[in-house]
Structure 1
Amino acid sequence: MSASAAKVSRKENSNHDAGDETSEKEQQEAIEHIDEVQNEIDRLNEQASEEILKVEQKYNKLRQPFFQKRSELIAKIPNFWVTTFVNHPQVSALLGEEDEEALHYLSKVEVTEFEDIKSGYRIDFSFDENPYFENKVLSKEFNVNEGGDPVSKSTEIKWKTGKDLTKRSSQTPNKAGKKRQHEEPESFFTWFTDHSDAGADELGEVIKDDIWPNPLQYYLVPDMEDEEGEDDEEEDEEGLEDIDEGEEEEGEDEDGEGEDGEVRAAAGRHGYCKQCFLKEAADGPPQQARGDSGNKPPAEPEQRCYGD
């Protein structure tokens, strides 16, 4: 390589290295700017959350009179809440037959969100006098402790002698025939004693966010077994109608074939094809083909046409 060529090569390598350094510097600056912009986005998101909480608190207060009115109306409907729970796909999976029997005494459910919504909520279950426990109200409360961790606490259930559903090793499936999700069946009422993971309490969240806002939608869910039975009956009736119609059509076909045979025979006796015979019959009674007079038997009928 000549000296001039070596100088050119060193110059190109130098420019390439300088270009890489510039590119890396620009990328680092872009990353820093992206981080700054993202911080602004996060700040706005946090601000939006605070505003949303304020709006939610405002409307929670406005909704309270309507919740109260709704509770008064629900009290007029027997077994409203147990029907609602049985019809809910997630809650029903936790109900054994004895749980369902106990919930027939459930007269009222109420969800109360605390003044600071972020701090938690409470669910109250009011019961009529029943053979299972002494409590009139069972409650479970969810909140945040001083360390910012979610915790829960609940009413201690005062079970009557021999009626503690949480100590029974197994229960029969509920009347709806829905299978339990747990391998070792637990009573619905164990929820009041389970505080292991308050931050992921699915039943509490379902009641608060899904059932409580509009329990009527689950109370009115139709019985799927009844609907299936009605559908089967309709299908059976349609099948019988199809069979009847088919038999009628077959009968009509057989009658038609019999009549057609008789017409052909009559036409043959008069020396006509079927079509000419019918035409002659329309014009007047068909005449027997003439034979010799006297006592001789009539001659064979004259063939009058060469049709059918």
Structure 2
Amino acid sequence: MSAPAAKVSKKELNSNHDGADETSEKEQQEAIEHIDEVQNEIDRLNEQASEEILKVEQKYNKLRQPFFQKRSELIAKIPNFWVTTFVNHPQVSALLGEEDEEALHYLTRVEVTEFEDIKSGYRIDFYFDENPYFENKVLSKEFHLNESGDTSSKSTEIKWKSGKDLTKRSSQTQNKASRKRQHEEPESFFTWFTDHSDAGADELGEVIKDDIWPNPLQYYLVPDMDDEEGEGEEDDDDEEEEGLEDIDEEGDEDEGEEDEDDDEGEEGEEDEGEDD
């Protein structure tokens, strides 16, 4: 007969469980400390990678400059290149009023310059011919990123000619345009130069720097939808005219056949008369 199984008290069970918990917590704490050490190494490599990437960006930014300069010289040979590019860009065009477009017809060159260390900010320069709106030859806006990560901006003060301040006339043009276009006229594009309320979320600056400036030609070459629609209407008109011409030609042929039949009938009557 086998010996009876030993009974284990609840006190012994609890003490064993507490020991297992203590071991588990100790292992977890050690694991957390090791994770922290590994994470520090990852962060160190990330920081090193950022420094290396920055050096590469600075290198290629310098290499790109001669090509940007050459491109600007070629663009200068194309009238209204920049205003066409802005009007064709879906986000920028939404910010342009009628008088803004008129003013931008005098825009001859746009330049985006990233600061030498790149990460601290950039500047956008707009070069204008003599125009009836303002005295400035160049309008600029700069964006600066400080050490704390906050972005600030500053810009050229626009020297408006008498009665030509588009930022003050935006409300008047809105009333006029709303009747003509059946939608509200946007606030003047030039208010962008005076708006420094939230430089960190300046969408227009980011669009110009990151989307338009790298390849403005893609937006300059966007076909004008109005022209396409006009061409389509002309094609429809040509087809209708061709259709009408075909109908007229068929009608003329039918009339010709009827005339021939009438002539043959008259000749037959004359022959009968001669026989009699």
Shorter-normalised TM range: 0.7 to 0.9
Distance 2:39 2:75 in 1: 49
- The structural deviation recorded for 1:37 is 1.4
| Overall identity of the aligned pairs, in % | 86
Query: Higher RCO, 1 or 2 (CA under 8 Å, sep at least 6)?
Result: 2
**What SS does the aligned partner of 1:118 have?**
coil
Match of 2:250 in 1: none
Which aligned pairs between 1:210-221 and structure 2 lie closer than 5 A? 210-221=211-222
Match of 1:66 in 2: 67
Match of 1:76 in 2: 77
Distance 2:238 2:13 in 1: 90
Larger radius of gyration: 1
- The structural deviation recorded for 1:85 is 0.6
Gaps of 5+ in 2: 1-5, 240-276
Match of 1:56 in 2: 57
Distance 1:70 1:179 in 2: 37
- Which one has the bigger helix percentage? 2
- The structural deviation recorded for 1:129 is 0.8
**What SS does the aligned partner of 1:108 have?**
strand
- Residue-pair matches, total: 232
Which aligned pairs between 1:112-191 and structure 2 lie closer than 5 A? 112-145=113-146, 149-170=150-171, 171-172=173-174, 185-191=186-192
Match of 1:97 in 2: 98
Larger mean Cα displacement after TM superposition, 222-231 or 164-173: 222-231
Match of 1:26 in 2: 27
User: What do residues 64-100 of structure 1 show as CA deviations (whole Å, max 9, x unaligned)?
Assistant: 1111110010001111000111111111111111111
Across the aligned residues of Structure 1 and Structure 2, the Cα RMSD in angstroms comes to 2.9
Contact 1:139–1:155 (8 Å) recurs in 2: yes
Task: Quickly say closer, same or farther: Cα 1:187–1:225, change in 2 above 3 A.
Answer: same
Gaps of 5+ in 1: 239-308
- The structural deviation recorded for 1:202 is 1.3
Q: Which aligned segments of 4 or more residues in structure 1 are displaced greater than 6 angstroms?
A: 177-180, 231-238
Distance 2:224 2:56 in 1: 38
- The structural deviation recorded for 1:109 is 0.2
Report the TM-score, using the length of structure 1 for normalisation: 0.68
User: What do residues 175-220 of structure 1 show as CA deviations (whole Å, max 9, x unaligned)?
Assistant: xx7967xxx8421101111111222211111111111111001111
Equivalent AA in structure 2 for residue 80 of structure 1: F
